[in-house]
Amino acid sequence: NAGVTQTPKFQVLKTGQSMTLQCAQDMNHEYMSWYRQDPGMGLRLIHYSVGAGITDQGEVPNGYNVSRSTTEDFPLRLLSAAPSQTSVYFCASSYRGGKLFFGSGTQLSVL
């Protein structure tokens, strides 16, 4: 099992550009989520999904969209990148709560 796979590892965008961060898991987990990590702060939840076709907002959803068409994939879309979205993004999955498994992260810089 590869676990949770995120791509790309690094990305630089200009303000106003859009892009999609990819996340895939091969553990047949129902639950998937996206977090952002900023210096000195804990991980903050952006969006999450409890199953295919179901998504919901977390603590900091503005400027991000998600969809869950399959159990395996949960892409995060930045609609119009802003410097405030410079951060490290982590995708995580869980079978049914409790033990979250994280990907290795995407470091995003918005200039």
Partner 1 sequence: GQQLNQSPQSMFIQEGEDVSMNCTSSSIFNTWLWYKQDPGEGPVLLIALYKAGELTSNGRLTAQFGITRKDSFLNISASIPSDVGIYFCAGADLTGRNYGQNFVFGPGTRLSVLP
Binding site for partner 1 (CB under 8 A): 4, 6, 31, 33, 35, 40-45, 48-50, 56, 58-59, 90, 92, 94, 96-105
Q: How far is the CB of 34 from partner 1 (least distance, A)?
A: 11
Cα separation, 53 vs 99, in Å, equals 22
Residue pair 32/93 in contact by the 8 Å Cβ criterion: yes
Cα separation, 72 vs 26, in Å, equals 6
Cα separation, 9 vs 76, in Å, equals 14
Q: How far is the CB of 15 from partner 1 (least distance, A)?
A: 25
Q: How far is the CB of 78 from partner 1 (least distance, A)?
A: 19
Nearer to partner 1, 81 or 90 (CB): 90
